[in-house]
Amino acid sequence: MKVASVLIPLPVPEAFDYEAPEGMTLARGDQVAVPLGPRLIRGVVSEVFETTGSNRRLKSVDSRLDDPALPAGVMDFVEWAGRWTLSPPGEMAATALKGLRAPSPRPERKVRRVGDRQPARATPARTGVLEALGERAMAGADLARSAGVSSGVIKGLIDEGVLEIVEIAAEAAFDRPDPDHAPATLNGDQAAAAAALVDGVTGGGFRPFLLDGVTGSGKTEAYLEAIARVLRADPAAQILILLPEIALTQALIERITARFGAAPAEWHSGVAPPRRRQVWEAVVAGRCNIVVGARSALFLPFVNLRLIVVDEEHDSSFKQEEGLVYHGRDLAVARARIEKAAVVLASATPSLETLWNAQAGRYDWLKLGARHGVAVMPDIELLDLRQHTPDPQTWLSQPLRLAVAETLARGEQTLLFLNRRGYAPVVLCRVCGHRLTAPDTDSWLVEHRYTGRLVCHLTGFSMARPKQCPSCGAEDSLVSVGPGVERVEEEVRQLFPEARTAVFSSDTVPDAKSARALIQRMTDGEIDILVATQAAAKGHNFPRLTLVGVVDADLGLRGGDLRAAERTYQLLAQATGRAGRADRPGRAILQTWTPEHPVLQALAAGDRDAFVEAEMAEREAAALPPFGRLAAIIVSSENAAAVEKVAADLAQAIPNAERLEVYGPADAPLALVRGRRRKRLLVRADRDVNLQAFLRAWLTRVKIPASVRLTVDVDPYSFL
Ligand SMILES: [Zn+2]
């Protein structure tokens, strides 16, 4: 008997076996309908094998679907990713099918002649229609317009059988990129990096690269040249470029279109579902060469993937924490290895993991030193707030105010950076000291003045600002503590009423379109002072921007998570890298209460190596990533007793292992989220320990009731 193992989109650890009926040809990657309980569901065949004398009674595969089979590389990838992240492989496969599950674009309806049939009565209007149409098929409205008649004339001809309506399936055309359309002129470094990339990417086989260069050094030019060479070597090659933020895609798409004379396909949550389906179908048919997308584009069914670029590879947005938990950068490297393709990790501030791989020679390390053109790195000054303390209820020190005024007077732009949304991060009662929190979550409510609401940034819960303290009932006792971007903008407006100001945060620019509009206004010089969160610190190029003020450089250094210092360094390097990109020198001022902190010292000295060395030494001493490995297990439920029970059972069931420790169970730092109690266990292992095998062995020992959710996060980034 023939058996097909089928991956189905359910939280089960393995494929389900079905009998392959006589006469049905099945192969790995085929899409099938299989019975599950009373209904049929879609699955993907992972394996077909012969078995003899099995006494198991297997159900039969119902039918093979005529949808495209998933290519071998995608199958290998989803199975590997499932094992690596301890996620159900069927759910990984379902992710790869998402584009196909989107609704089809509506077919286009057009009219055309039926043979050479003539109208019974030839009026001038009817003759005009037939002449305008000729041999073509046209949309009815277009035809009426070009013949200068009403739609009734066309309808009459259809009724008479002279014209007919045809439906044409909307198949998106993706123009072939032309590698020689508009080559860039590269400087020495860029040309050398591009040449090295080219040798690697066209040499065949898996090759990882770190493309390391300060903001503005021309990383994009270098990898676009590498893409050009890939396309010259193989016009059918497919290339995937991953970006951390949708807001960055438009600028890159325009550059690619200008460079290759053809727009790439776009893949992220902002793309309409019918369009996503077209991209999916074009990718699996090999009709689409370049895709620019978010991390989920890694699951697209490429058939000839030759190169993956992960731009801004250090960005923590590549880590997906809801649903399937995975890191887009790590999975990109895995997909490239499976496809025997090249992968380029590009950044001005590479992650410690990537630098560690580059230092050890596992990744080819390409450095772009000088900034492109004449621009130089900005001067970075640490401004000691102990000596220049702002007035009460204000956040900008005197020297920073002066610098903004000077910049305004020169007609140049200022970016004030504060990575905090809203008006005030905390609202408290001055009578009883109560801090307002969300009712079902342990996080403070953030005041938003634009919307007049108090918002939980974790769950999105919001409420109107109450008149009375919910704890002691005192009237008008609530005060806003600390600044968010809205509050800094309020101060700026009072100080510089003539200046044109704007706020850039996920509240003021909720989608890619509004982000694009604001970025354009900034680029066009229509904004003098932009107050922004990290959303504006990434990848944008504002030629008139010459001053960056970091309102609170200490933010992010506080708090105990593993990557706090690294993230702060990256963010500040990116934010200050915004200044002075064109021909004007830039200046960056960092307000801090702790100018002696090594991260800030390294930043002020422009000394990335010093920062990396200090941070690596600390991680190595504690055997933390990249020198060791971590995994978090979060147990959560609305039933607090069930959480306690499962956490205790897990603690009892820890397998013996060497060079590995388990911490916890402990209350997660946010012990209550959306009404669910949360407990956390943290595993630290040496790098040579098979962490996934340990976790699998451990988790099979404990029975998890249906009321409890267990989330495994391999290599956690968020320690909430
Ligand atoms: Zn109170």
* Distance from Cα 479 to the centre of ligand 1, integer Å: 10
* Distance from Cα 314 to the centre of ligand 1, integer Å: 43
Between the CA of residue 270 and those of 94, 249, 250, 292, 440, what are the distances in Å? 20, 11, 12, 12, 30
Binding residues: 429, 432, 456, 469, 472
pLDDT of residue 540: 66
Architecture of domain 628-714: 2-Layer Sandwich (3.30)
User: Residue 665, preceding bond cis, omega within 30 degrees?
Assistant: yes
Query: Which residue has better confidence, 11 or 163?
Result: 163
What is the tens place of the pLDDT at every residue in 87-128? 999 999 999 998 888 887 777 888 999 988 888 888 999 999
Least confidently predicted of 264-268, 571-575, 669-673, 687-691: 571-575
* Distance from Cα 475 to the centre of ligand 1, integer Å: 9
Buried b (16+ CB within 10 A) or exposed e, 209-247: bbbbbbbbbbbbbbbbbbbbbbbeeeeebbbbbbbbbbb
Q: CA-to-CA distance for 572 and 591, rounded, in angstroms?
A: 12
* Distance from Cα 233 to the centre of ligand 1, integer Å: 70
83 pLDDT band (50/70/90 cuts)?
very high
Structure pTM? 0.84
The runs of H, that is alpha helices, within 285-419 are 328-339, 352-359, 398-409
Least confidently predicted of 234-243, 504-513, 586-595: 504-513
Same fold, 379-420+483-617 and 628-714: no
pLDDT of residue 373: 44
Looking at mean pLDDT, say which of 2-6, 10-14, 424-428, 577-581 comes out highest. 2-6
Q: Specify the CATH number for 2-101; select among 3.40.1440.60, 2.70.210.12, 3.20.20.100, 3.30.70.1060.
A: 3.40.1440.60
Average per-residue pLDDT for the chain:
88
* Distance from Cα 456 to the centre of ligand 1, integer Å: 19
pLDDT of residue 11: 82
Looking at mean pLDDT, say which of 77-86, 189-198, 578-587 comes out highest. 77-86
* Distance from Cα 443 to the centre of ligand 1, integer Å: 18
Question: Which pair of structure tokens corresponds to residue 307?
Answer: 């190169």
580 pLDDT band (50/70/90 cuts)?
low
What is the tens place of the pLDDT at every residue in 270-292? 899 999 999 999 999 999 999 99
pLDDT of residue 375: 44
Residues 476-504, mean pLDDT to the nearest whole number: 94
467-470 CB contacts, 8 Å cutoff, 24+ apart? 469/429, 469/431, 469/432, 469/434, 470/434, 470/436
Residues 317-336, mean pLDDT to the nearest whole number: 93
Looking at mean pLDDT, say which of 4-8, 161-165, 559-563 comes out highest. 4-8
Binding residues for Zn(2+): 429, 432, 456, 469, 472
What is the tens place of the pLDDT at every residue in 609-659? 888 888 898 889 889 899 999 999 999 999 999 999 999 999 999 999 999
What is the tens place of the pLDDT at every residue in 364-380? 999 887 544 444 567 78
558 pLDDT band (50/70/90 cuts)?
low
248 pLDDT band (50/70/90 cuts)?
confident
Q: Is 446 helix (H, G, I), strand (E, B) or coil?
A: strand
696-703 CB contacts, 8 Å cutoff, 24+ apart? 696/86, 697/655, 698/650, 698/653, 698/654, 698/655, 699/86, 701/653, 701/655, 702/646, 702/649, 702/650, 702/653, 703/649
Q: Which fold has domain 379-420+483-617?
A: Rossmann fold (3.40.50)
If you write DSSP's letter for every residue of 153-200 in order, what string do you get? HHHHHHHTTSEEEEEE------PPP-TTSSPPPP-HHHHHHHHHHHHH
* Distance from Cα 612 to the centre of ligand 1, integer Å: 46
Residue 199, phi then psi, degrees to nearest 5: -60, -40
Helices (H) and strands (E) in the chain, counts: 20, 31
Q: Which fold has domain 189-268+289-368?
A: Rossmann fold (3.40.50)
* Distance from Cα 430 to the centre of ligand 1, integer Å: 7
Delimit the domains of the chain by residue range. Answer: 2-101, 108-168, 189-268+289-368, 379-420+483-617, 628-714
Q: CA-to-CA distance for 295 and 384, rounded, in angstroms?
A: 40
Residue appearing with tokens 């732009």: 413
pLDDT at 10 over 70: yes
Least confidently predicted of 42-56, 189-203, 501-515, 698-712: 189-203
Q: CA-to-CA distance for 490 and 504, rounded, in angstroms?
A: 14
pLDDT at 541 over 80: no
pLDDT of residue 372: 45
Burial class (CB in 10 A: 0-12, 13-18, 19+), 677: buried
Q: Which residues surround ligand 1, an ion (CB under 5 A)?
A: 429, 431-432, 434, 469, 471-472, 474
Rg (CA), the chain: 29
Residues 518-547, mean pLDDT to the nearest whole number: 83
pLDDT at 559 over 80: no
CA angle 520, 246, 99 (to 5 degrees): 140
